Amino acid sequence: MDFAMLLLRYFGTPDLAAVAPAALAEGAERMRVDFGMETDRPRRFALWTLMHMLGVAPDLDVAFKDEADREAARNFMDMAIALERDDQDG
């Protein structure tokens, strides 16, 4: 899934800074619903990563039945933290 397309689908714009708080909450709720119904593992993972970045992702044990998917999510979280630290260290 293309990141910009996900933003456009759920928030109406690829620019998160332009999304009003109410629209952000509505888009997050639509993502939760789609995530719960999604059966394709890569698409599900892509939705989870966006929800994680927005702070609305379900816990790993709830989101992923497969341990490999949970481990991939942990790796993603570790990379996101490392990138955030790099940005702060500038």
CB-based contact 48:73 (threshold 8 Å): yes
Q: Is the pTM of this model over 0.75?
A: yes
CA distances, 39 to each of 1, 47, 62, 76, 86 (Å): 14, 12, 15, 20, 34
pLDDT digits (tens, 9 = 90+) for 18-76: 999 999 999 999 999 999 999 999 999 999 999 999 999 999 999 999 999 999 999 99
pLDDT of residue 84 exceeding 90? no
Number of separate domains in the chain: 1
- pLDDT band for 2, please (50, 70, 90 cuts): confident
Q: Which of 54, 80, 59 is nearest to 70 (CA)?
A: 59
Q: Print the domain residue range for 21.
A: 3-89
